[in-house]
Structure formats: structure tokens, C-alpha cells
Amino acid sequence: MKGDLAIAFARVTEGAALAGHKWLGRGDKIAADNAAVEVMRTLLNHTNINGEIVIGEGEIDEAPMLYIGEHVGCGGCAVDIAVDPIEGTRMTAMGQNNALAVLAAGDKGCLLKAPDMYMEKLVVGPQAKGVIDLDKPLADNFAAIAKALNKPLSELVVTILAKPRHDQLITEMHAMGVRVFAFPDGDVAAAILTCIPESDVDVMYCIGGAPEGVVSAAAIRALGGDMQGRLLPRHHVKGDTEENRRLGEMEIRRCAEMGIEPNKLLRLEDMARSDDVIFAGTGITKGDLVEGIQRRGNIATTETLLISGKCGTMRRIQSSYDLNRQDEAVKQHTL
């Protein structure tokens, strides 16, 4: 992929973040998401790519924008795009920390095309690359990771989504002796923190969204970390009710159409098939990974984490926008 695309992608997540931020603390996660999606789509369509959305807002028959299979861009090299215009719509609506606008891109065929379903995820930084195995018990993984990091198990820091489905597991992790940092939402930021040297986080484990999983995989691959995942049908995660089974069966059918198997171990290389990937993530609200947006009248400042896998660079870009001078679509959703 052309290196100069990275900055264009940063511009796209910045626009989406600004649009989402306009809805900060308004209790309306759908309006926040719609605004971010529309701006992200407009800006992607101004970008010099021949892009295909492989991870997006859903399927075409649900009539979303940025649906899986949608073509974006105004011509250029063929790229796969995975987007989450607001990773943390609830966090944005409720004014909570760690909401991001994120995008990952790679050459055509690079990123896993997966339906919007759940994914079990285990993520570590570069020093523990090669030692994880989701087919083994978590206790074995933690022991192997602690050994690779050359620290006692009692000092291993594991982050996990604080959801009821993990309550029992969190108790088990405490009994294993690791430190558990449970975060309310936003596993993309938590996954990336495993690869940030200044962060205390060693491991991220959770059952969260598959779209977030693929976006994370691109960032983790670019940063030299490691990740494994497993797509889980809804009734395996949320309880075997009639409705969950119906939705789960639909996910299984969709997986078959996309040529992937649920419940099967996915390695990092299955989710992000090349090092030449780009990740852009802009803070909407203040977070552990990046700062949130600050606004003074029409001037807004953003912070973006921009990672290029080709040469292993990670940049933090601070930008200042005069919202009055953006193009109409952006202005409409940000001013």
C-alpha cells in the first residue's frame, strides 16, 4: 500500500470522531453512529483508493452505509477496509472514556471478511509472540506469557471486558493469581495497549465483537504483537434462547457464505494476512490510548494513533480543525 495513504486514513477517522463527538453525552448512540458513519463514508469516497469494506456496519439488506462489500474511494490501488466509525457508541452517548473512531486497511484480500458476530480474543504484545494458544486453557496461556515476559504470574496484568458473561472467569483469573483490569467497553484500545511499551497491560482476553477483533488484528500485526480469535455464534455467548439460536443460526449461515468456520481457531495471520497494514484510531473521548477531542467554538483538536505495519511505525498526530472550513458533509455533522 502507498505510504501516503496513512495520513488520508487518519483524516477519515478524525472526521468520524468529530462527528461522533458532536453527540457526546446526548444519550443517543444511534444518532452518534449515523453521523460518524456518514462522515467516514464521505471522506473515504474522497480518498484515492479502490476500496472494499470487509468489516463495516452490517449487511447490505439491513440498508446501512459502509456495509460489508460496499465499494468506496475515488480510484487507486485495491484495498480492503475494516471500519468501526464509533468503537464505543454507548461510551460516546454516555460521555464515558475510551471511545474511538477506527479504521484498518490492507491490500486486497488482506483482512478477514467476517459477519458482525461475537469473537473470543486473546492478545499479547511482541515479547510474548508465538506463545499463545486459544486451544489450551487460559491458565496455561498466562503461565507461558508470564514466562516469555520474564515476570512472575502474580505480576501479569490481564484486561477483560467487564460484562456479565465474564463474571465467573474474572473470579477464576483472580484465583490463578493474575491482576485483572476489567474495562466496561472498548476492546480495540485494550488490545492495542498490550503492544504499547509504556502501558501496564500484558494480555487482553474477552468475548467481544468480531468486527472489533479484525480491526484489532490489523493493529496488532502492524505492531508485531500476537492474537488469536474464534468466531462464536450468538447463542454460545448470550444464552441458548429461541431468539439467540435464530440469530446464531443466521451467523453460521453467513459464515458459510463467506467461507469461514465459526468456533475454529483463527491465528493473527488469518485475520490480517500481511504486515503491510495501516491502522488509524482517533479519540472521541479521553482514553488510555489517545486523548479525546477538545472543542473551543469552531476549533477542534484531535489525537490520532496512526500505525503503519510496513515499516513498523507508530505516530501520534495532533490536529487542529477549523470546522467552518471543512467540506459541506463534514461541516454539517460537526459544527
The answer on whether 213 is annotated among ligand-binding residues is no
Residue 57 marked in a binding site: yes
- Judged by beta carbon, residue 38 or residue 87, the one nearer ligand VTB is 87
Whether 25 has a binding-site annotation, put simply, is no
Q: How far is the CB of 62 from ligand VTB (least distance, A)?
A: 17
Q: How far is the CB of 116 from ligand VTB (least distance, A)?
A: 9
133 is in an annotated binding site: no
Residue (114 or 149) nearer to ligand VTB, CB: 114
242 is in an annotated binding site: no
Q: Considering beta carbons, is residue 212 or 276 the nearer one to ligand VTB?
A: 212
Query: In angstroms, what is the minimal distance from the CB of 79 to ligand VTB?
Result: 23
Tell me: is residue 165 an annotated ligand-binding position.
yes
d(CA 194, CA 201): 5
CB of 121 to ligand VTB, least distance (A): 8
Which parts of this chain interact with ligand VTB (CB under 6 A)? 87-88, 161, 163, 185-188, 208-209, 212
Cβ 276 to ligand VTB shortest distance, Å: 25
Query: Which residue's Cβ has the minimum distance to ligand VTB?
Result: 208
Q: What's the gap between Cα 233 and its chain centre?
A: 19
Q: In the complex with ligand VTB, which residue's Cβ is closer, 93 or 330?
A: 93
For residue 279, count other CB atoms closer than 10 A to its CB: 31
Residue 106 or 209: which CB sits closer to ligand VTB?
Answer: 209
Residue ranges at the known binding site for Mn(2+): 33, 57, 84, 87, 212
